[in-house]
Structure 1
Amino acid sequence: MTKLKTLWIGSNNFTGKIPNYFLSWKELEMLEMQGSGLEGPIPPSLSALTKMSYLAISDLSGESSDFPNLSNMKDMQTLMLRSCNIRTIPEYISNMTCLKLL
């Protein structure tokens, strides 16, 4: 599955923390985990997905976390992190020139 470009795992009854294995799929451009039942925090390894243009994560239970490092995601157009127990939003977000929806 190393060529996978889109992963939608929302509206499920998964349990446990967000797994790291799918974050190694470097071609991933779109990731949606809304209402998945998974727990946070958002893994730091998310920053390795530099081709991402769409990221939507919501309704994570569990511990709070820092905002994931998305600074290398130059093509990010849609970023939605809702109810993820994130503490702060970093300043570099204002430099994401392709971002259309935040």
Structure 2
Amino acid sequence: MFVALRNLQTVWASDNELTGSIPEFIGNWSKLKSLRFQGNSFGGSIPTTFSNLTLMEDLILRNNNISGSIPSNIGDYQRFLQL
């Protein structure tokens, strides 16, 4: 169901105790400008599909259990206002 939400521009899901990995399908939300996952229990790494989010301006993944490296192309995101 969430996979088909390609026109989303803002997703804020904070303090919900969401667990598991951050879903790969978020990288298909090509119009996403703001993603905030704060105070959840996501684990693992940032999905490589996030490289598709070329309109992203605001990415906040604070207070989770994310591990691994930051995607190497993060510097190419010219629209970032906040990371």
Q: TM-score, normalised by structure 1?
A: 0.69
**Which structure has the highest helix share of the two?**
2
Compare the two structures and name the one with the higher strand fraction.
Answer: 2
Q: Please state if 1:29 is matched with 2:33.
A: yes
* CA positional deviation for 1:46: 1.1
Which of 4, 8, 15 in structure 1 is aligned with 2:8? Answer: 4
Match of 1:53 in 2: 57
Letter in 2 for 1:73: Y
Task: Give, in whole Å, the separation in 2 of the partners of 1:2 and 1:61.
Answer: 26
The runs of 4+ residues in structure 1 deviating greater than 2 Å are none
> Secondary structure, in 3 states, of the residue corresponding to 1:78?
coil
Q: Which amino acid counterpart does residue 59 of structure 2 have in structure 1? A: L
Report the alpha carbon displacement of residue 17 of structure 1 after superposing the two structures with TM: 0.9
Larger relative contact order, structure 1 or 2 (CA cutoff 8 Å, min sep 6):
2
- Give the Å deviation of 1:40: 2.3
Name the % identity. 32
CA contact (8 A) 1:40 1:60 kept: no
Question: Of 59, 66, 80, which aligns to 2:69?
Answer: 66
Structural RMSD (CA): 1.4
TM-score for both structures, normalised by structure 2 = 0.83
One of 4, 17, 20 as aligned partner of 2:21: 17
Aligned residues: 78
Point out where structure 2 has 5 or more consecutive residues left out of the alignment: none
SS at match of 1:58: coil
Higher Rg? 1
